[in-house]
C-alpha cells in the first residue's frame, strides 16, 4: 500500500540509468539469501523496506551499470572517462560510440562484476524523489498481479474460516455432518475463534 515495489524499482533504475518502467521485477522466493539484512527475516512489515534496502538496491543498479560500461570499454577500446551511461545506453563523450545495454550483455556476463562503484549524488537524481507512477498499478488493477493466496499447487486444499462475530468469542458447538456430505469437503474443525472447512 505504500508503493514499496515502485520505490525499490526506482532505486535500481536511478543508478542503472534507465527509466523505472523499463525495470522488470519479481517477488523473491523463500530463501535465506533474501532475508532482511537487519532483522534476518524474510517478512513484510515495519515500513522498513526503503530504509533497509535503499543503499543495497542502489549498489545493485550501480554495479550493473559499471559492468555494462566495462563491456563497452572492451568493445570500443575507450577508457572509462570517455564513456557515459544514460537512458539504457553507453555513449562516448564525442558521440562516436553509442551502444545499447542489450548489445553489451553478452560481453558483460563474461567480465568480473564491477566493484567499489560510486553512487550518484542526490543532486543528480533523475528518478528518486521525482518518479511517482506506480509500476505495479496496472497488474493490481487488471487482476494479473500474483499473490501468495493465488498459488494453487497440485494437491493443495483450501481452508475457509468462519469466525465468531464477537471479539474474542469462541464456538460453543457445531455440527459438521451436512458439510462433510458435500463433494470435496475433507474436514471441518473448530479453531480458537471459529470453524474451518477444508475442501
* Same domain as 106, residue 158: no
Query: Beta strand 194-198 with 159-163: parallel, antiparallel or unpaired?
Result: antiparallel
* Same domain as 102, residue 157: no
Domain range enclosing 166: 152-198
CATH of the domain at 59: 3.30.365
* Same domain as 119, residue 52: yes
Which of 147, 167, 190 marks a domain boundary? 147
* Same domain as 115, residue 43: yes
* Same domain as 142, residue 55: yes
3-state secondary structure 129-171: CCCCCCCCHHHHHHCCCCCHHHCCCCCCCCEEEEECCCCCCCC
| Low-confidence winner among 24-28, 78-82, 94-98 (lowest mean pLDDT) | 24-28
pLDDT at 125: 98
Rounded Cα gap, residues 84 and 107, in angstroms: 17
The cell numbers describing 5, all together, are 515495489
pLDDT in tens, 116-157: 999 999 999 999 999 999 999 999 999 999 888 888 888 899
| Whether the predicted pLDDT of 1 surpasses 80 | no
Closest CA to 64 of 102, 93, 30, 36: 102
* Same domain as 38, residue 57: yes
The cell numbers describing 198, all together, are 477444508
8 Å CB contact between 15 and 62? yes
- DSSP class of residue 197 equals E
Domains of the chain: total? 2
* Same domain as 183, residue 143: no
Rounded Cα gap, residues 20 and 11, in angstroms: 9
* Same domain as 48, residue 134: yes
Residue 119 or 164, more confident = 119
pLDDT at 12: 98
* Same domain as 176, residue 103: no
| Whether the predicted pLDDT of 94 surpasses 90 | yes
For CA atoms 140, 146, 147, 151, the dihedral sign is positive
* Same domain as 171, residue 129: no
Assessment of whether the complete model's pTM goes beyond 0.85 = no
* Same domain as 172, residue 95: no
8 Å CB contact between 19 and 101? no
Amino acid at each position: 500500500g505504500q508503493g514499496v515495489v515502485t520505490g525499490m524499482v526506482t532505486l535500481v533504475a536511478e543508478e542503472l540509468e534507465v527509466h523505472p518502467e523499463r525495470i522488470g521485477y519479481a517477488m523473491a522466493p523463500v530463501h535465506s539469501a533474501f532475508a532482511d539484512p537487519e532483522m534476518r527475516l524474510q517478512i513484510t512489515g515495519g515500513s522498513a523496506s526503503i530504509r533497509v534496502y535503499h543503499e543495497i538496491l542502489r549498489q545493485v543498479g550501480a554495479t550493473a551499470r559499471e559492468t555494462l560500461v566495462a563491456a563497452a570499454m572492451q568493445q570500443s577500446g575507450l577508457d572509462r572517462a570517455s564513456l557515459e551511461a544514460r537512458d539504457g545506453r553507453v555513449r562516448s563523450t564525442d558521440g562516436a560510440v553509442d551502444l545499447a545495454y542489450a548489445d553489451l550483455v553478452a560481453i558483460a556476463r563474461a567480465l568480473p562484476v564491477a566493484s567499489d562503484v560510486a553512487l550518484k549524488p542526490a543532486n543528480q537524481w533523475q528518478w528518486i524523489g521525482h518518479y511517482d507512477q506506480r509500476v505495479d498499478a496496472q497488474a493490481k488493477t487488471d487482476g494479473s498481479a500474483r499473490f501468495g493466496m493465488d498459488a494453487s499447487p497440485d494437491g493443495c486444499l483450501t481452508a475457509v474460516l468462519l469466525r465468531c462475530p464477537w471479539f474474542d468469542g469462541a464456538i460453543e458447538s457445531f455440527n459438521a455432518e451436512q458439510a462433510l456430505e458435500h463433494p470435496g469437503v475433507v474436514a471441518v474443525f473448530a479453531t480458537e475463534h471459529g470453524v474451518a472447512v477444508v475442501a
